[in-house]
Structure 1
Amino acid sequence: MSHDKVITRQLDIDEGSLRRVWGNFATGVAVITAHDGTEPIGFTCQSVVSVSLTPPLMSFCPSATSTSWPRIRAIGEFCINILADDQHEMCRQFARTGTEKFRGVGWRPGLAGAPALDDALAHIDARLDAEHDAGDHTIVVARITGLSAQEAKGPLLFFRGDLGTFGDLDG
């Protein structure tokens, strides 16, 4: 019986190398939104994943330096807006710091009042379940409370440091 050897080695892993290698993993793009009773709040996030079907859980990872996430955390309920392939500018608008992110953006209140952005590919209403410190980010686990989706469009993707669509990756 043959056993494969597991080879491990210590590497000096720098931020640039991590970005370059992880850039080869295409991700969808979402805008996380909430409403504090006075104004809407939101930020762009590409680290969104399904965690569990039973119970229905999902996760995302805001930057530890985010000024929007602490405000959304305090509310405890939010909407994950999965962006469609024609929402490049919306992605950039919500990624900026210190701007009026909702200027010119259409939305309606979701189940818990969080903004469901017009023309997004999907909306996932959720409630904060757990939070974990993770280096320069926070891992958020949320319980899904509502869902909606349209199938007329494709997803907006983040790949190799740029935004694109599924067709753009065909080579």
Structure 2
Amino acid sequence: MLFTIITKERDSGSSQIELQSDATILAFGDSITYGFGVAEEESYPAQLQKRVGVRVINGGVSGEESSEALERLPKLLEQKPDLVILCHGGNDIIRKRSDEKLKANLTQMIETIKASGAKVLLVGVPNFGILGFNTHSIYAEVAKETEVFFEEDVLSKVLSKNELKIDYIHPNEKGYEIIVDAVVKHLKVIN
């Protein structure tokens, strides 16, 4: 499979991941990736597959922390994805696990993904606070340090609107659709 990255000036904020139509994407994460609270076909991986027309593996596990994900990731990478959309850490944040450990786990996941030959799109997760849903600063740090594509704000924006979620931390069908809209902006599928 041919896989290339097209990058433009970082300052312009414009960059795309170019995929062939026979590519495979692994959506890797916790309950938000899994699609907790919505029908399977309304999860963001299922909606993304319909939208871009490439195979998308749903690698989401509800309730999982980043240390567990780190152990589970290598087995999923055996499916040889071209791109991994990494959206993980919400349970670590909610359960007030160490920020340093979360950062180390995210970094190690990205290194493992890159070693497999896949590219990475990191999705920022909110720091679920009393004052709202701002993306946790760890995600921008990790994206910069590991030089991966980064979708910074979509999850924070979705979870800050009650009409886009089923409970405090999970999107509804429309919320997942907005996540897909944001992810698609980073992709270019070549037939």
User: For this structure pair, what is the TM-score category when the shorter chain's length is used for normalisation?
Assistant: under 0.3
Between Structure 1 and Structure 2, the one with more strand by share is 1
Between Structure 1 and Structure 2, the one with more helix by share is 2
TM-score by length of 2: 0.24
Larger Rg: 1
TM-score by length of 1: 0.26
